[in-house]
Structures are given as C-alpha cells and as structure tokens.
Amino acid sequence: MEEASAQQQSSAFPAPPFYFQRLSKLPFPVLALEPPPPVQSGKYWQFGRPFDTQETLATLEQQGCQQLYPKGPIDRVKELKKLNHSAIFNFLELVHTLTTTPGEHYKRVDEIRMIFINMHHILNEYRPHQARETLRLMMQNQLQTKKQETEALKRTCADLRSKLSALRALKEQRQRSLATINSSTVAPGDSDVEMTSSPDHQTQDSKASLVGASSSGYPGAENHIDANSRRTMDRLMTMVDSIE
C-alpha cells in the first residue's frame, strides 16, 4: 500500500484499485474475486441514495400530503372536476383574505397547493396504465406488419413457382420436339453428341442447349426454336424482376 501511495505522489497516474491485494496470497480465492450478484428484490443503495427494485408510484400519504379525494376505486373524471372547481374557489378566497387580513393568507395558499398536488397525483396514477396500453398497441402493429409481409412473400413465391414449372414444361416439350427433329434429319457428328447428351443434364442446362441448338444451324426448325427461346428468355426476365 505504501508503494501505491508513493507512486501516486511521484507519478501522474493513479494507483490500481486495491483489489490487487486479493491476488497477493496463493492459491487465489477465486470465488471471492467474482463480482457481487445483482440485487433481486427489495431496496438497494447506489451512490448513497436508495433505489427500489420495483418502481411504484408512492401514495400521497407516503409523500406526506393530505389526500383530498376518497380512497379506493374512484371516478377520476368527477374527482378531477371537483378539484378544479375547489382550486378556483380557493383562489377567490385567497384574494378576499388578502384584502381583509393579509396575515392569514398562508392557510389559503397551502390549501391551493394541496389541491394541485392531488390533481397531479391522480394524473400520475394514469401513467403506468398508459405505458402498458402503448406497449400493447405497438406489439399489435408489429404483429400485423409481420403477417402482411409473410403473406406477400408466400404469394410471390407461389407465383414464381408456377411460372418456373410452366417454363420447365415448355422446355420438356421443346426437348421432345427437338428429339424428333434429330431423329428425322441427318445431322453432323458433334451436334449429335450435343443433343443426345442434353437430356442427361439438369433442366436448366437443357434450356441452355435449346438456345445453343438454335444457332448451330438446324435448317427447318431454326426459326421455330429461335422464337420459342426468345419467349423463354422474356418470361424468365419478368420472373426475376418480380422477385427483386
């Protein structure tokens, strides 16, 4: 400890917190080194002031003020109106006492003060209810947006799937027509390999080979295949646009 204080006097840096003393004896008391657990219930003290773990609005008696409205469940609107009227009435009486016996004004002033404190207290009792209501409304909104989004996503997915399957059916059709064309014409060797290997590929590859076959020069079927591939391309582009 003397080292620490000497260091503080000679250097500009503060000493380390004195927890280092706990590490000075071996074996290290590990459990004692754990930070204290957070307070679960009741009162706790922080920086010299008391705090509650459960925040509740203190009643008027606890705050040291007289409660002017009756205890228990009350009609808030009626009580507030009554307090409003008595505030004005007391102000009138205050003005009267100021004109007659100014020395006695403090009684009226205290009355008015009590009335205002009561009014504010009634309003403060609304606040927790309002907070929970707001939370409930926010959660309902969130739920609704989520459901809407899920619906929209599902609809677009179903749309796309139907379009994809339609395209695949179209492709199968083209494949079959190409196969018949292939068997009816005498084609050069390598294009034969190209066409016979295509049914083994994935459906996307066969789509691609469709397009490839159009430019490899099949005489009679060329224009027919070209138009179909162009339509396929158009449909696929619109599909991708609708996803994005």
Partner 1 sequence: MDRLTQLQDAIDKLALLFVSSLDHLSKNAPLVALNPDVPVVTTEHGMPKEILQASAQELALDISRQAKELETLIENLPPITQTPEEQTLDLELLAQENDRATEEYEAAVLEAKKLLQEVTQALREIAMDQSNT
Q: How many other CB atoms are there within 10 angstroms of residue 221's CB atom? A: 19
Q: Toward partner 1, which CB reaches closer, 76 or 176?
A: 76
Q: Which of 15, 69, 86, 205 binds partner 1 (CB under 8 A)?
A: 205
Which residue is listed with tokens 């989520």? 146
Q: Toward partner 1, which CB reaches closer, 98 or 227?
A: 98
123 binds partner 1 per the rule CB under 8 A: yes
Task: Supply the DSSP symbol for 7.
Answer: H
223 binds partner 1 per the rule CB under 8 A: no
Q: Which of 133, 172, 192, 234 binds partner 1 (CB under 8 A)?
A: 133
3 state SS of 63 = helix
Q: Which residues contact 229 (CB under 8 A, 6 or more apart)?
A: 210, 211, 214
Q: How far apart are CA 165 and CA 163, in angstroms?
A: 5
Q: Which of 135, 166, 169, 193 binds partner 1 (CB under 8 A)?
A: 135
Q: Which of 60, 68, 111, 209 binds partner 1 (CB under 8 A)?
A: 209
88 binds partner 1 per the rule CB under 8 A: yes
Q: How far apart are CA 172 and CA 179, in angstroms?
A: 10
What letters, b where the CB count within 10 A reaches 16 and e where it falls short, cover 72-83?
Answer: eeeeeeebbeeb
Give residues in contact with partner 1 (CB under 8 A): 76-77, 80-81, 84, 87-88, 91, 94-95, 98, 112, 116, 119-120, 123, 126-130, 132-133, 135-136, 139-140, 142-143, 146-147, 149-150, 153-154, 156-157, 160-161, 164, 204-205, 207-209, 211-212, 214-216, 232-233, 236-237, 239-240, 243
